[in-house]
Amino acid sequence: MKKHFFIIGLIGIAVGFVFNACTTVKPIVVDNTVTPKNVLFIMVDDLRPELSMYGKTQIISPNIDGLAATGVTFERAYCNVPVCGASRASLLTGKRPTAKRFMTYHASIKKEMPGVPTMAKYFKSLGYTTVSNNKIAHMKQDDPGSWDQEWYPYVKGWRDYITPENIALEAGKGHGYAFESPDVEDAAYYDGKTANKSIEDLKRFKKEGKPFFLAVGFVKPHLPFNAPKKYWNLYDKETIKLPENSVFPESAPQVANHKWGELRAYKGIPKKGAVPTKMAKKLIHGYYASISYVDAQIGKVIKTLDDLGLRENTSIVFIGDHGWSLSEHGLWAKHSNFEVALRVPMIFSDAQVSKGSRTDSMAELIDVYPTLCELTNNPIPSHVDGVSLVENLKSPLKITRNQARSRWKNGETLIAGDYFYTEWKKKGKVTDVMLYNHSTDPNENRNLAVESAYKKVVDSLGTILNRQITAYKLSELKN
């Protein structure tokens, strides 16, 4: 009986979710007597919620933790597609990925949704100075007319090697190692240069006195895990541990077993099979060091915002573009429908929101666009699929949403309460299914979809998911 009521409840939630996703958000009235609020948009590549503020106490991330203390942290925020290009295109346009758009790392805004105003283009139309530093959109010049300046620090290969060995390996038309730890200053790497550029921009904005939309994109902890030695030294390599679920679960469908070719291309990584334990720990060490390195750069940017007296009138958002598996399920990749690839860190800091709070209300990356609009007292464009999270920012204990949706290739994932449900289709027919209950199996090791006792739950979640997909397709046709 309890299960029956739970399923009915899920369907009720789904109806509300579909309605929200397919309804134009009511614009708010702009008060022209109020000084326009600035936006500091910080995005970190391949960063899952591997941060001290998310309970990962082994991670040293004092500056991001400090940002969380001034705003609201979303415990359950999810990307809409776990790959850089598609995730960023979806986020910047506020549009969901579908089977026909925003699917791959080279997803293009100007090719796939050329008529939709991105966040940058919209804020520029409102009179904001818009600057993109380093990796915001995945493709360069992919959003014509949106940025007053689109800046990149690249003076050599994008992998940003410094050590002679890795430089030589890359010059030989191959990959170097998947990490390096030279004894250099922060600005020797691109992310350090990005922080310095952003600091100079803030100083210029202060002098000019115009509202600004400054987007700062940090590349680490994306492969290769390169960071100055001092950040590697923050961690004792002897204490690095592998996750408990380092083997692909027998009950999971093989379609979910990504081959992680991105990592295998690096020197020293086996072309087949598992990564040896010593190498695996070195990779995790490098991921941690890269996080601490980026954390330090974020701290420098936010300190400048404070020192210039701009903080009070600036809305800050901090996000990752998707997660990344550090050998969970035997994977080393972002490309999967497991939670470790879909869940992202998300913090909003603003003078009008709750301080040092957390919310369990769900959020998606497509919600960032409308949320920034409302925080800055600007109308929300009708094309945006996401919903504003301001209600959660002001009342973090209030749960306004208990569902989210993501996709990777042919896999559609519905997150509903404690359930993570994914189905794959071929020619319109379901071929594979995964179901995990996070209340009893947070690491997603037991696929309940193969157990007969959960058939009704699988059928109900499948119905909800497909109703949402159908409703969204219909709304797209109307618009």
- Angle subtended at Cα 441 by Cα 438 and Cα 442, rounded to the nearest 5 degrees: 55
What is the DSSP-derived secondary structure letter of residue 55? Answer: T
User: Is 138 part of the annotated catalytic residue set?
Assistant: yes
CA atoms within 13 A on the CB side of 130: 19
Instruction: Tell me, yes or no, if 383 is annotated catalytic.
Output: no
Tell me how long the chain is. Answer: 479
The bridge status of strand 77-78 relative to strand 363-364 is parallel
How would you classify the pairing of strands 212-218 and 149-151?
A: unpaired
Q: Choosing from 4, 79, 84, 285, which is the catalytic residue?
A: 84
- Spatial neighbors of 350 by CB under 8 A, at least 6 apart, are 71, 314, 315, 316, 375, 393
Reported as type and span, the H/E element at residue 315 is strand 314-320
Distance in angstroms (rounded) separating the CA atoms of residues 320 and 479: 30
Packing angle of the helix pair 84-93, 368-375 (nearest 10 deg) = 40
Give the count of beta carbons closer than 10 Å to the beta carbon of residue 62: 13
Could you tell me which of 479, 478, 466 has the C-alpha nearest to residue 99? 466
How far does CA 162 lie from the centroid of its chain?
A: 27
Q: How many CB atoms lie within 10 A of CB 417?
A: 15
Residue in this structure with the two tokens 């081959």, named with its chain if needed: 259
Residues ≥6 apart with Cβ < 8 Å to 6: none
Do the beta carbons of residue 81 and residue 336 sit within 8 Å? Answer: no
Tokens of 259: 């081959």
- Residue 477, classified by CB atoms within 10 Å of its CB into exposed (0-12), middle (13-18) or buried (19+), is exposed
> What is the token pair recorded at 35?
């000084």
d(CA 427, CA 425): 7
Buried/exposed code over 243-264 (b: 16+ C-beta within 10 A; e: otherwise) = bebbebbeebbebbebebebbb
Picking from 121, 54, 146, 144, the residue whose alpha carbon sits closest to that of residue 347 is 54
Distance, CA of 108 to chain centre: 17
Residues paired with 357 in a beta bridge: 72
Contact 45, 84 (CB under 8 A): yes
CB atoms within 10 A of CB 464: 24
Task: Choose, from 138, 322, 329, 335, the residue flagged as catalytic.
Answer: 138
Residues forming the active site: 84, 138
